[in-house]
Amino acid sequence: MNPDQSFLPVLTDAKAFFLACKGLSSILILTASVLSTAAESLPPLSRHYDNVLGTSFDLVIHGGDASRQEQAVETALLEIEKLEQIFSTWREDSEIMTLNRQRQTTEASDDLLEVLDACESWLLTSNNAFSCRMGQVIDLWNTAEAQQVRPMVPDTLPIARAAQKNLLIIDPLQRRVELGESINLEPTGLAKGYIIDRVMTLLRQELPEATAIKVDIGGDASYWGQPDGTDNWLVNIADPNVMADNSNFISTLSLNGMAVATSGHNTRTWKFEDLEFSQILDTRRGWPVANGLYVVVIAPDAMTADAMSTTLASQYLGPALKFINSTDNVEALIVEQNGTTHFSDNWQDYYGGDLLRQANSNIELTLTYTIPNLRSRNYERPYVSIWVSDTTGRPIKNLLLLGTETQWARTNALWWRRVGRRGVVPASNVTRPTRMPGKYQLSWNGNDDNGNNILEGDYQLMLEASREHGDHNTISIPFSLKAGTQNIDHAGEGELGAVNVFISLTTSE
């Protein structure tokens, strides 16, 4: 029998053929619908790798075909391996270490040329605060640590100065790089950011259907797109003074198409018995930064964030804030050694989650305080200080100082120790002449001394008063900043009479 004859009865029955096709069409539509739903509900790909660039590598991808995602991950790992072979300073066979030994090359890779050009640009932009030329100084410190013989400034100073002044030739057309006598290249301050950017670019090219991608290497990361069910990536910033990685976040960010980099002085150090020195250098002297800043930077690309965080961490607070606020599209959170937190002008534009809701909340605190009428022949008006602190005593906002002469204001010893000598009084514009006995009032909008909304939590309202020929008294009134209204009364003591505190916090939805 002709093998095709078995189909003739079906083919000659037009109605049956129509019904068969209709049924097949329904099956195909149903199958396509099921596959589409499965694709939409596919969980994001999440991968963690250790020992990548000497740290960890975390990758999250939302959207796209699972097999293509896996293939893209493999391509990303190969890219990181290739770039590590170029920039690694712990691999003697890397391109940059070979250049440091041979002093010149006419076969520089495109990646090396691009990074070195960025290094020299940051050297100029930062007024020499950021430098990729400190390799010989770092070698000196590494050797000193191995031998446990601490260097002295006269050991590092001439090398650092010479490295900054020596000629570094970079000729992209000839692929030529030539190092001056005191220059060894050490691009760690921005090479990791460069690698993160390259991986993000590669993944977006390999996965055009992806909806969101996170690339995180050692805590520095780039975030793109909108993860499933959200508008942006929510990124928690850890408290540098808390060891646990999953608690005490000091900020929460909402990011899309932005990168974050962090620089601090506690994780990478040179150790000499019981002393530790930061591996972030003051490039003018080749000496580790002391009492340095903890810095988190938001920027449009990871290399900028990486370089800026390193630069700011090597500065004093004033120059660091001035530099970040003069740089477009880059923001920073800066924490001093004592825990005081500062923000660049537009940091709050990137708040997310509950922090965004709190930042947009309306806080009102009204304090009614009394200077009692203490009948005394030698009565002098008291000096009164009022401020807000956290539960550890760290000052957050100076509210008032009655008495403008510093020598007498210092008699409020607690205020002077915690607030006055920090120099925030002139900026706060809260000094007034001493007042006669009576009832007075002040208000506060919930901003700290840097103009940022404080967050919901526990605080202390501090009042201190001292009087010539009189007493010295301090009152601490604990309060919790939370949604709703509160009334707190305190009877007062000595030079401080009755106190009433009204607090209102209205959060935005």
For the record, the structure tokens of 50 come out as: 């250790």
pLDDT level of residue 368 (50, 70, 90 thresholds): very high
Nearest of 331, 192, 322, 312 to residue 253 by alpha carbon: 331
Would 42-89+187-229 and 231-357 be classified into the same CATH topology? Answer: yes
Average pLDDT, stretch 243-261? 76
Percent of the chain surpassing pLDDT 90:
61
pLDDT tens for each residue of 207-228 = 999 999 999 999 999 999 999 8
Nearest alpha carbon to residue 442 among 453, 454, 429: 429
The DSSP secondary-structure symbol of 381 reads P
pLDDT surpassing 60 at residue 421: yes
pLDDT at 242 over 90: no
Nearest of 474, 476, 420, 478 to residue 449 by alpha carbon: 420
The whole-number average pLDDT for the span 50-61 is 93
Question: Given this model, what pLDDT does residue 422 score?
Answer: 63
**Positive or negative: CA dihedral 253, 342, 58, 310:** positive
Q: Mean pLDDT over residues 371-394, rounded? A: 85
CATH number of 361-506: 1.10.10, 2.60.40, 2.60.120, 1.10.3470? Answer: 2.60.40
State pTM to two decimals: 0.73
Lowest-confidence segment of 10-19, 84-93, 262-271, 276-285 by average pLDDT? 10-19
**Count of CB atoms within 10 A of residue 67's CB?**
8
Classify each residue of 17-40 as buried b or exposed e, where b means 16 or more C-beta atoms within 10 Å of its C-beta: eeeeeeeeeeeeeeeeeeeeeeee
User: Could you give the 3-state DSSP secondary structure of residue 478?
Assistant: strand
Q: According to the model, what pLDDT value does residue 135 have?
A: 96
Q: How far apart are CA 179 and CA 278, in angstroms?
A: 26
Whether residue 1 is predicted with pLDDT greater than 60 in this model: the reply is no
* Alpha carbon 187 to its chain's center: 21
The full set of domain ranges for the chain reads 42-89+187-229, 105-185, 231-357, 361-506
Residue pointed to by tokens 């990181």: 80
Residue 230 banded pLDDT, cuts 50, 70, 90: confident
Position 6 pLDDT exceeds 80:
no
Query: Taking a C-beta distance cutoff of 8 angstroms, is the pair 175, 107 a contact?
Result: yes
Q: How far apart are CA 364 and CA 409, in angstroms?
A: 27
Distance of CA 406 to the CA centre of its chain: 36
Residue 295 · residue 263 · CB < 8 Å: yes
Q: Higher confidence at residue 446 or residue 104?
A: 104
Lowest mean pLDDT among 81-85, 352-356, 384-388: 352-356
Residues paired with 447 in a beta bridge: 453
Spatial separation of the C-alpha atoms in residues 191 and 456, rounded to whole Å: 38
215: number of Cβ within 10 Å: 27
Share of the chain above pLDDT 70, in %: 84
How do the residues of the chain divide into helix, strand and coil, expressed in percent and rounded to 5?
A: 35, 30, 35
Give the highest mean pLDDT range of 10-24, 144-158, 363-377. 144-158
How do strand 395-402 and strand 431-432 relate by DSSP bridges? Answer: parallel
Token pair listed for 255: 């990011």
- On average, the pLDDT of the chain sits at 86
Cβ distance 496 to 475 under 8 Å? yes
- Span 339-366, average pLDDT: 82
CATH topology of domain 231-357: T-fold (3.10.520)
- Which of 373, 318, 314 shows the shortest CA–CA distance to 497? 373
Residue 371: C-alpha distances to residues 315, 438, 440, 474 (Å): 44, 5, 8, 13
* 90's tokens: 């712990």
- Residue 388: how many CB atoms within 10 A of its CB? 22
In this structure, are residues 427 and 357 in contact, taking their beta carbons and an 8 Å threshold? no
* 3 state SS of 206: helix
According to DSSP, residue 447 is labeled: B
Q: Taken in order 118, 120, 126, 129, is the CA torsion positive or negative? A: positive
CATH superfamily membership of 42-89+187-229: ApbE-like domains (3.10.520.10)
**Rounded-to-integer distance, Cα 283 and Cα 498, Å:** 55
Residue 72 · residue 206 · CB < 8 Å: yes
Which H/E stretch holds residue 9?
helix 8-12
Contacts of 53 (CB under 8 A, 6+ apart): 80, 84, 88, 192, 195, 217, 218
pLDDT at 457: 84
Q: 200 pLDDT band (50/70/90 cuts)?
A: very high
Q: Quick one: 170 exposed, middle or buried, by C-beta within 10 A (0-12, 13-18, 19+)?
A: middle
Residue 384 Cα distances to 407, 423, 430, 474, angstroms: 14, 17, 12, 10
Work out the angle between the directed axes of helices 66-87 and 188-206 (0-180°, nearest 10): 150
